[in-house]
Every structure is written in structure tokens, then in C-alpha cells.
Structure 1
Amino acid sequence: MGDPALSRRGFLAASVAAGLGVTALSGCGGDSDGGSSSGTTTIEWWNISTTEPAKSVWANLAKRFEAQSPKVRIKIVQLENDAYKSKMTALTASGKLPDIFHTWGGGVLGQQVDAGLVEDLTDRTEPWADGLLPVARQPYVLGDKLYGIPFDIGMVGFWYNKALFKRAGIGAPPTTWSAFLDAVRKLKSAGITPLALAGKESWTGMFYWAYLAMRTAGVDALHKANDDRDFGGAGFVQAGQHLKDLVGLQPFQKGFLGAAYSSPTGQAATVGNGKAAMELMGQWAPVVEADAGKGLGADLGFFPFPEVEGGAGRITEVFGGGGGHALRKGAPQAAVDFLEFFASATTDRELVRKTGVLPVVPAAESALTDPRVKAVQARLKGATGFQLYLDQAYAPALGQQVNDSVAGLIAGSKSPRQVTESLTKAAKDEQ
């Protein structure tokens, strides 16, 4: 695998990308109009691939496209995640976006679409976009219209230490929540820390509540709660109670509330160094575990978030997200052509081999070699439902409230019902 931050930049900005230089090539003002001079059309492409190997791979792809399209010039603007988000917020307020820009889909893209700033790609990309992996397209489909083209997709699940499971007498990964809690108890009885958590970064805890809400209330209920601005349903309270039950077992490493995600003493390193048996994380986990710690090699396994007995959700419904590109309203045809080039099987194979993203073009799956990544891809292909990261699926203020409220539940300062009340209030305040 390559740069894991591509898959979760929204949350890894302060960790995976911390300390890395920010590269912004000229023209960082969102003032491109796809204009032409001497018969050449200039397309401004804003992305967040500031780290290697993706930075060089993407630059070379732009050059290759220019070679195939001699009358088109791609002007690249690369910004680290937080700087990018800040700049894009300002540009959205000004009413003018770059020709091609990075998006995670969901709530922020929805706001840009509602403001009339994003090109509807439904008809302009239909001949080739329909062939992309369905779960990869979903975050960019709003109101039955396609507003973005994915280049990556992934899912969150449990990464676990097979040797520690064996030592604790756990024969196979749990498939139900009760069996999962039993596994936690067995690990503790064996003197093994069951779970690592970066309590300092609230998004890591959100993963637990989001999956439990999917398993108890169901994916559709999460969508409906956002639409109705009401998270008071019994399934959401139950999700919080299930998480509270887990927290009550004291499953996390010592000092987890002050732990970061990818620091030398953080969540990923704790698992990568064999000091905890599991972490709930996205498909980038093996790379970060190896970067922050030693890595587990063949001892590292993956299993999906278990079902909750009696709940509305199924184990085949997945939680995750990825990255994509959208176009400003009125972008020239050359920008659409570049998206088609970027989403081709040839390009996708190169991205998979060189940057570690998961393929969004089925024909590019042949480039996968790591059996753990293949396991994630198989789960994505077999998914019967998909939920985008809640702090990206929802409008920004509500998304942040999900993170903060769940962090309060894990820290013991909020009850399961208080979490749902806070979410309902934040949702209504967005009106």
C-alpha cells in the first residue's frame, strides 16, 4: 500500500500528514476560468496529494494527459488537508471554485451543490462512470444526480493481532456484538489489552458509535435522522448503550484519552508494536501501524464490524469513504476528459500499484497483491449497504457534534441519550 492519508485525509491531517511540507503551485486563488490562450485550454486542478508517492504519481499523470491532449494544460494546486479545507471554505463563500477539485462527497459537497457551484456530471460521464464500483460512487450521488467521480474507496473494520487472539483462546474473529464483548473479556483475562484508541482525536471513537447505529437502527435510519433532524430514535440510544457497555469493560490501553492516532505512542503504534490486540480503523491501518510502530506482518488480520443481535443492520453493510473529484459549474469539456482519463482502468491500476488506493474500476483489481487489502476489497464489492463517514456525510457542524458527543460518551461525561439529544440539537441548528 502507499499513502494511507489519501483515503482519510479529513481525519489524518493532524497525524499522517503532520509535519509534512505544504506544496501549492502557482494560481492558488480559485480564479481559473478554463480560459485559453493560443488555442490552449488551462485547467486548474486542486488536490491534497502533498506526500510521496502520490504527489509525484499524480503530477506524472497530469503530464501524460497533457501529452495526449496537446491543447490542454493542467495547472496543479496541491494543499495539505487543513489548508485545503480552509481555502475551499473561502472559495465556496465567494461563489467560485476551481475547475477540478478534491471532494469527499457528502455534506460539504451537498452544500456546494445547493449553492449552484458544482457541475452535474450525470449525463456528461454516463458512458464510463456507470462502470465504477457502486459503493465508490455513492458519496457523490445527491438527489439521483452524480456530482463527483471517485478515485479511491475504503471501509472501516477491525484490524487484529492473530497471535494475541490465539494466546487468549479466541479461535475465530467474532461476528456478533455479544461474541465481540466475550473476546474482549478473554483478552483481558489473558493479560492482553483488547483495543487501542486515540482518545485525543475524537473521530476514532465516532467509528464505534456509527457502526453500532448502523447495526441497531440501520443505515436508512441514519439517513432519515439527518433528513428529519431527529436522532431521538431508540436504535440510536441503544447504539450508545452498546458502546457504553464496551467502555465499561475498560478495553483500551492505559492513557488512551490523551493518545493520538499515528504518534509513536498512539493508537496505530500500540497495535503495530503488539501492545493491543485490535483497532477499529480504515484500510490504511497496516501502513500507519508499520510507520508508527513495527508492524505485525502476517500476524495482522481483518474482520468486519459484528452484527448486533436483534438489530436492523447486517454485517454486510459497511462504513467508510474515500476521495473523489468534482468540477465547478460550467467547467470545460477538457476537465471532464481529465476525469475520464483519471478513472480509466490503466490509470487506476497505476494508482493501486504505486499509491496503495483501493480500485474503483473493477478491471484494476488485478493490481492488488496484499491479501489483507484484497479482503477489504472483497467486503466492499459484496456490500449490501454503505454509510459515508458521519462527519463527512452530514453538514460540518453536525458532523463535528457526532465526533464530540461520542468522545464525551467514551470519556464518561455524556450518557447515550445525551448523545442523541446533542445530535438532534445540532441538526436543528443547521436549518
Structure 2
Amino acid sequence: MSAHLSRRTLLGLVGAGAGAYLLSGCSGDDESGDPNAPQTIDWWHIQNTEPMLPVWAAAAEEYKTAHSNVKIEIQPLENEAFKAKLTTATQAGSPPDLFQSWGGGVLRQQAEAGLVKDITDDVKPWIGSLLPLSLEPYTIDGKIYGVPFDIGMVGFWYNKDLFAKAQITEPPTTWAALLDTVRKLKAAGIVPIALAGKEKWPAHFYWAYLSMRIGGLGALQQAAKDKNFDTPDFVAAGDRLKELVDLQPFQKGFLGAEYGSPDGQAATMGNGGAALELMGQWAPSVQASSSTSKKGIGDKLGFFPFPAVDGGKGSATEVFGGGNGFAVGKDAPAATLDFLKALLSVDSQRKSAKTGAVLPTVKEATDAISDPNNKTVAQALASATGFQLYLDQAYPPAVGQQVNDSVAELIAGNKTSAQILKDITAVAKSQ
């Protein structure tokens, strides 16, 4: 994201002139194949805050210094603004040259529409240096359409001091124990969970993980294949989530809260205002950058995987998450792929890893992970027995959007578990 990266509902269009700007973005570039011809790379990414913002800026400067004929126009955008602007650009048939991608169903649609390049042959000389798991969301029908620079998983980040204050001695390993943890925190006068209700995508993490733990990874894959989510396991997942919602665990005003704003989910955690958040590997860095101190809660922060559900078919070693990567637009100049290779070099990946905001995909760069929590996440990923990409990226965009919208309605108390599954299934069948 995000961050996360995250990483998902579309907001209003960003700037009335965006389309005209995009259509003229590559004008004047030489596409003759001459590597020394003037080239401009239009690069959009969502690492729009510390610590990654300056890292990407420095990477671009370094490349431009070494390649005097190449210009790199960078547009760092907030997650939701990025998706809105990218939608406008792709609908106009004019994607940026290099842009943020989470892979999955969205990338498949872009590939099928001819908006992104098949880069299989271009990356073949160096793609073997990446973790194979990280490439899965970017590989469509055996062809590579994007390259991940970050791989991770969603889990619970918690404030050790607030747990101690509530006399909670260890992180919960079952759903029932998590509910007990929430009750203990409330009894101690502590806000249990921070949630960005306005943005919807953070809430879908809960329902997705519960669906995985109850039905197993196979249930999520089968639902997509059958275009049917109206099954007992998914109903049970919603019912379990409702158990949590009924405890009123979230911070005041959570339904209007954003993720990365000064009073949003990440800041609530970073300022010590809540004991837990369910978020991806980028959480510590966004907590820090969003907090008043710009440092977050430091070594008070801990991590634990999403707990098991008693009687469920899924294993606690099956992880839910994804990474951040880049796709290459259909009209991108030749230097774009060379620059992408530079971004995925061991040196570049080590610099990214040292920020604590990125878990590198290049195997040789994993030695640069220094944050204890990031090491825990990396170890959990290494021992994972299954992997599920974010549902709002894995599924076709309309289905992913409906999942987000429906889970938000469940959490707001506007619809029941059974009702939201009928809505999701209806959209799935319409695709």
C-alpha cells in the first residue's frame, strides 16, 4: 500500500485534465528501438509517503544520471487516488509507462484489453532471482505481465504495552480467544481495534481470512469458478465477523475513518490509540509516518498471524496477502524495462528493505530485513502452506469491489451475512 498498498474503492476522478495530459504523455518519445534516443518514462506509484517516497525518487535520479537520454516523470499518488486516476487512463486507452500493480484479476483485465505489455521474454534473464511465490499474481496463462518488488501477508499488529495493561499475556491463536482478547481490552478501557471503515478494503481482510479459515483456500477458489458465494462456509464467515462487530471493538468514528490520514487507522495505532489492527506488511512504516511523533510505537509493536477457527477446514499456516509490483504500459519506451530491471536489482531491493516498508522479492536482498516484525512476517511467509491474493485483486474488479462494499455493509449493520452473499453472487454471475 497499502501503502498497501493497499491496497481499493474508487473515488472521484483526479483532475479534469487528466485524460488530456495522459494522451500527450508519451509524445515526442522515440519508439524506433534506438537505445540512445530521447525517452520519457511516465511512472506512477503509491509509495507517496516516507520512507519509500525518497527511495524511489533517488532510484529515478540515479538512473537518469547514468542514462542522459532518459527522463522519468514520477507521479506519487495515494492508493485510492491512484486507482481512480488509473481507471480514467486505462478507459482512455492510455496507461502510464510504469505503474503500480497488485496482479490478479485487475491485471488480467488489463492484459486482455491490450493495455499492458507481455514482458515474459524481456525479464527472462533476471526473473529467476525473485521468489517464485511472489510472481504468481503477475503470471497470467503462463505469461508475465508485471514484476513484484514487495511480497507480504496480512496479520494482526498489536501494541504490547496495551496488551500488558489489559493483562493479556500472549496473542490469541483461535477466533474465540481473539474475541476474549477484545473483551479484556474493552474492560481495561482500551480501544481494541483500529479500522478504516470509510475505505472498505481493510474490512474485507476480516471476512476473507475467516472464509479461508472456515472453508479453506479451496472454498475461495471454487466460489470464483462457480460464481457462487452463497454457501454455508461463507455464511459462517460473515456470522463470525458479526460476533466481533457486536462487541463494538472499533475506535470512535471508524465508519468515516480513512487508512493513512492524520486521524485514520494507521495513525490511531501509531499514536497508541488502539491495541490492534489487521493489516499488511507495510503497517509499521505507515503507522510511524502517520503518527504525531513520526516514529510510531517502536518496539512496543508486535505481530501475530490471523487465528484459526475451531472446526474450520483451513489451516493457520495459510496466508492472505499480496505484494506491490509494477506493470508496463502498452506504449512504454524501451528504457522502461531497463529501469524496471534496475529497480529489481539486489542493491535497489536492499535499500527498499532497509526502510522497513518493503519485504523484498529478490532472494539475495532478504538479508537486509532488519525489523524484528518484518522478520516474523518473512518467516511466516517462508513456512506458509498456502497463499491467497487479496480478494479485491484476485477476483474480477466488479466482484472484488462488491466484496468490499458488502463487507462494509455487514460491519455497518445494514445487511446480514446471508444478504451480502446474495449480492456478491449476483455480481459474480453477471461477469
Structure-1-length-normalised TM-score? 0.86
Cα 1:201/1:87, change in 2 over 3 Å: closer
Counterpart in the other structure of 1:17: none
More deviation, 103-112/56-65: 56-65
Counterpart in the other structure of 2:315: 314
Say if 2:229 and 2:424, in contact at 8 Å, map to a contact too. Answer: yes
Q: Deviations over 1:30-79 (max 9, x none)?
A: 54665257942525232224445544432432343345556x52432415
> What residue identity is the alignment partner of 1:348?
Q
Alignment of 1:373-412 (within 5 A): 373-412=374-413
Cα 1:368/1:245, change in 2 over 3 Å: same
Counterpart in the other structure of 2:239: 241
Counterpart in the other structure of 2:150: 152
SS of corresponding position for 1:8: helix
> What residue identity is the alignment partner of 1:206?
H
Say if 2:31 and 2:334, in contact at 8 Å, map to a contact too. Answer: no
Alignment of 1:299-310 (within 5 A): 299-310=300-311
Say if 1:43 and 1:100, in contact at 8 Å, map to a contact too. Answer: no
Say if 1:153 and 1:360, in contact at 8 Å, map to a contact too. Answer: yes
Counterpart in the other structure of 1:349: 350
2:83 and 2:202 map into 1 onto residues whose CA distance is 20
Counterpart in the other structure of 1:325: 326
1:289 and 1:59 map into 2 onto residues whose CA distance is 22
2:163 and 2:356 map into 1 onto residues whose CA distance is 31
Counterpart in the other structure of 1:18: none
Q: Deviations over 1:203-256 (max 9, x none)?
A: 221111111111112223223322322111221111101101111222223333
Identity rate, percent: 53
User: Does 2:7 correspond to 1:7?
Assistant: no
Counterpart in the other structure of 1:88: 86
2:266 and 2:329 map into 1 onto residues whose CA distance is 37
Cα 1:43/1:375, change in 2 over 3 Å: same
Cα 1:409/1:171, change in 2 over 3 Å: same
Q: Provide the alpha-carbon RMSD of the alignment.
A: 3.0
Cα 1:347/1:415, change in 2 over 3 Å: same
**Among residues 247, 258, 270, which one is paired with 1:260 in the alignment?**
258
User: Does 2:73 correspond to 1:76?
Assistant: yes
2:348 and 2:400 map into 1 onto residues whose CA distance is 33
Cα 1:275/1:90, change in 2 over 3 Å: closer
SS of corresponding position for 1:127: coil
2:23 and 2:150 map into 1 onto residues whose CA distance is 24
For structure 1, the residue ranges without an aligned partner over 5 or more in a row are 15-22
Cα 1:405/1:95, change in 2 over 3 Å: same
SS of corresponding position for 2:122: coil
Say if 2:402 and 2:424, in contact at 8 Å, map to a contact too. Answer: yes
Cα 1:172/1:394, change in 2 over 3 Å: same
1:274 and 1:38 map into 2 onto residues whose CA distance is 52
1:400 and 1:12 map into 2 onto residues whose CA distance is 7
More deviation, 140-149/291-300: 291-300
Alignment of 1:10-409 (within 5 A): 10-11=7-8, 29-31=24-26, 35=31, 39-40=36-37, 42-48=39-45, 49-52=47-50, 54-68=52-66, 73-81=70-78, 82-290=80-288, 291-293=290-292, 295-329=296-330, 334-354=335-355, 356-409=357-410
Say if 2:191 and 2:250, in contact at 8 Å, map to a contact too. Answer: yes
Say if 2:41 and 2:332, in contact at 8 Å, map to a contact too. Answer: no
1:251 and 1:329 map into 2 onto residues whose CA distance is 46
Count of residues paired in the alignment: 418
More deviation, 104-113/179-188: 179-188
2:229 and 2:97 map into 1 onto residues whose CA distance is 37
SS of corresponding position for 2:99: strand
More deviation, 413-422/351-360: 351-360
Say if 2:148 and 2:324, in contact at 8 Å, map to a contact too. Answer: yes
Counterpart in the other structure of 1:19: none
1:135 and 1:257 map into 2 onto residues whose CA distance is 34
SS of corresponding position for 1:152: strand
Cα 1:74/1:299, change in 2 over 3 Å: same
2:147 and 2:305 map into 1 onto residues whose CA distance is 26
1:417 shift after superposition:
0.9
Say if 2:392 and 2:401, in contact at 8 Å, map to a contact too. Answer: yes
2:354 and 2:107 map into 1 onto residues whose CA distance is 29
Cα 1:40/1:320, change in 2 over 3 Å: same
Q: Deviations over 1:192-213 (max 9, x none)?
A: 3322222233222111111111
Counterpart in the other structure of 2:14: none
Counterpart in the other structure of 2:15: none
More deviation, 253-262/363-372: 253-262
Say if 1:135 and 1:380, in contact at 8 Å, map to a contact too. Answer: no
Q: Deviations over 1:286-307 (max 9, x none)?
A: 2333333553222211101011
1:345 shift after superposition:
0.6
1:328 shift after superposition:
3.4
Cα 1:122/1:306, change in 2 over 3 Å: same
1:108 and 1:84 map into 2 onto residues whose CA distance is 14
2:371 and 2:9 map into 1 onto residues whose CA distance is 22
Say if 1:34 and 1:99, in contact at 8 Å, map to a contact too. Answer: no
SS of corresponding position for 2:121: coil
1:149 shift after superposition:
0.5
